[in-house]
Amino acid sequence: MKRFGKLEYYWLGLIAITLFNTFLGENFESTAVVTILVALTVMYKGLVVIDHFMELKGANRFLRIMMRTYFFIFPSLIILSTLF
């Protein structure tokens, strides 16, 4: 029997996080808390995709920084707009 590789575990983790976000959206009434949690998990998922699926961990430093910045700035803006 073939065992899972590293990417399969990351993929399963991303699916679990997506299901967790769906559970949060369906079961909690506090939209601010749910929005903040979902934004933080989207940030984490983006970083995992950048490092492991797009294989930018060993790529040009500037390109990697720009991609990672995207996943820090936009979820942060979502959180700020929720708080105001």
Residue 41 pLDDT: 92
Per-residue pLDDT of the chain (84 residues; tens, 9 = 90+): 577 788 889 999 999 999 998 898 888 887 888 888 889 999 999 988 888 888 888 888 898 888 889 888 988 898 899 888
Residue 1 pLDDT: 54
Predicted model pTM: 0.78
Are 10 and 48 in contact, with CB atoms under 8 Å apart? yes
Query: CA torsion angle for 24, 45, 69, 66 (degrees, to 10)?
Result: -150
C-alpha–C-alpha distance, residues 13 and 25, integer Å: 18
